[in-house]
Homo-oligomer: A and B are copies of this chain.
Amino acid sequence: MRLSAKGEYGVRAMVYLALNYENGPVPLRAISQSENISQHFLEQIFAILRREGLIKSTRGAKGGYTLAHLPQHVYVGDIIRALEGPLFPVDCLSEDGQADKNRRCNKTEDCLVRNVWEKLREHIDNLLDNISLQDMLDWSIENKKAEYEKVR
């Protein structure tokens, strides 16, 4: 039950894009260096994010990536789901019938546990779908303000 590097890096990178939202396209090299993430790996992550419509790319020199929407309209949930698939999947919960049926929970009629997984997924989705990149930037400012007040 952990977040993979893809998801973790993806969110970090998206925050970086949010910070530079006004400055035109950001090249991967910059993110890679600043966040200390392999550039090749980032390329793969960004390919996904682009396919999912979360970022826009500009090719060629002076090119790079930009958020496809305002930071207040990009949610952590979108990023993570794009990169990791549905959150908290327990196979018996998969909507698309892709579940590995001969391996898991065949008693679908009366599965006592299913409710728990459903609740859990709802909670996680709900939380992450209510945190925008802008929120994260704002928290940071608040924290800094608080730090400052404390010092004074």
Contact = CB atoms under 8 A, between A and B. Distances in A.
Interface stretch (A23-31, A48-56, A115-123): A115-123
Contacts of A104: 5, 8
B139 A80 contact: no
Contacts of A136: 112-113, 115-116
A3 B90 contact: yes
A79 to B, nearest CB: 10
Contacts of A123: 123-124, 127
Interface residues of A, number: 42
A4 interface: yes
A15 to B, nearest CB: 5
A139 B118 CA distance: 13
Contacts of A85: 1
Contacts of A21: none
Contact of A119 (B4, B5, B105, B127): B127
A11 interface: yes
A69 interface: no
Interface of A: 1-5, 7-8, 11-12, 15, 36, 76, 80, 84-85, 87-92, 103-106, 110, 112-113, 115-117, 119-120, 123-124, 127-128, 131, 136-137, 139-140
Nearest 7 interchain pairs by C-beta: A1-B84, A2-B89, A112-B136, A15-B112, A3-B90, A112-B140, A123-B127
